[in-house]
Amino acid sequence: MARQRFPSGKPKLGPAKSKKDDGPPAPFKRPPEVLQPFVDTLDERHVYITHVDNKPADFKRKIFAVPVLMNLALALLFAYRAYYILPYYLQILASVLGYPNETTMVVAEMEWADIAPEVAVRALSFMLDFVLVVFVWPWPFDFCLAQEHGNPVAWRWRVGFRDREVVVRRSRKWDEAKGDVVHDAGQASLLMSRIGPATSPLLVAEKTGYLLMSKEWDLDWAAMVDAHTMVDRKMAAIEAFKTVILVFHEEYGWLCVDTKLNEGAEEDEKRRHVFAFRDALAAVGKEDLFYRWIEIIQYESTQPSGFGPEKQEQVAKQIRDLFDKEGINFDKLWNESVGESTPAM
């Protein structure tokens, strides 16, 4: 694990300026020492989340087949387009260089009625290929050959499909606004608002790793290969990667965020209620409503406008209407499955 990944050719920021001996304040703590070889490969500008994906290997294989087929289709489309259009572009280039051929246009000898359609056809062809090369081609290229953070093909080639896999997510552009998350309460709140929904036990339990990419989090393919290299070499048990949140701080260096610090019996009870509600929906063949409910809550609670009392009332009405359309009374089913009044949604 001596490999270091320097983003965009830039060196890492180096060790923390002045690490305090008494350790960081809660909810931050030092990363487990067993993970230090893994932590050393990470980019200090980003926030990372690791967890263990327990979905069956066969299910993961089916999920991964979708982007494989999609990118294979795109690659074949590009190959066909190149085969079809390159000779045409070469003829145009030869004409520009002074070698007349069938694509040469002698404007002085042509009518506008002939010039306009030909110019339009060429312009559309150029525009189509520009869009394909600039906006579409990066998908199959990054899927197979991206280097900075690895790529899905290299990840699956090295790791394969396993019943238990380490998933590593990396923060996207929102981390550019990240400041002093240890001493600045506002920055700490921003961080928690991002990692809270991303580490939801329901989200992690119900979705396999490949489906956890979002506008706020991307998968770090190279980091996942590194994590499995450590596990395969017996440098760390796979359990060491179970829900670890890593963030770099100038004063303390790499830190873990303890999201369960304030959780106790009350949080466990709430989680039990939610799972009981899911089971009740599954019993009447409406389990999909449960996931739609969770998705609505997670989406609305992470919006920049906040999730205050007024917004909560709007979302609660939206959810009740959603359930009513499926013939399910939300409040009644919750009360029957949990035995308590409806939760604050």
> Tens digits of per-residue pLDDT, 145-163?
998 899 999 999 999 999 9
pLDDT of residue 6: 46
DSSP-derived secondary structure for 149-197: T--HHHHHHHH---SSEEEEEEE-GGGGG---TTT-HHHHHHHHHHHHH
Q: What are phi and psi of 169, to 5 degrees?
A: -105, 145
Decide if 209 contacts 165 (C-beta within 8 A). yes
pLDDT of residue 259: 77
Percent of all residues in the chain with a pLDDT value above 70, rounded to a whole number: 89
User: Which secondary structure element, helix H or strand E, spans residue 117, and what is its range?
Assistant: helix 112-131
Whether the model clears a pTM of 0.85, i.e. scores above it, the answer is no
pLDDT of 167 strictly over 70: yes
pLDDT of residue 7: 46
pLDDT of residue 12: 52
pLDDT of 242 strictly over 50: yes
Give residue 275's pLDDT band: very low, low, confident or very high (50, 70, 90). Answer: confident
Average pLDDT score, the chain: 87
For helices 152-159 and 138-145, angle between their N-to-C axes, nearest 10 degrees: 30
Give residue 201's pLDDT band: very low, low, confident or very high (50, 70, 90). Answer: confident
Of 8 and 203, more confident: 203
Task: Note the pLDDT tens digit of each residue in 34-51.
Answer: 999 999 999 999 999 999
Task: Note the pLDDT tens digit of each residue in 276-293.
Answer: 888 888 888 888 888 888
pLDDT of residue 109: 81
State which of 135-139, 219-223, 285-289 shows the largest mean pLDDT: 219-223
pLDDT of 108 strictly over 90: no
Give residue 87's pLDDT band: very low, low, confident or very high (50, 70, 90). Answer: very high
Of 12 and 129, more confident: 129
With 0-12 / 13-18 / 19 or more C-beta atoms within 10 angstroms meaning exposed / middle / buried, residue 299 is exposed
pLDDT of residue 2: 47
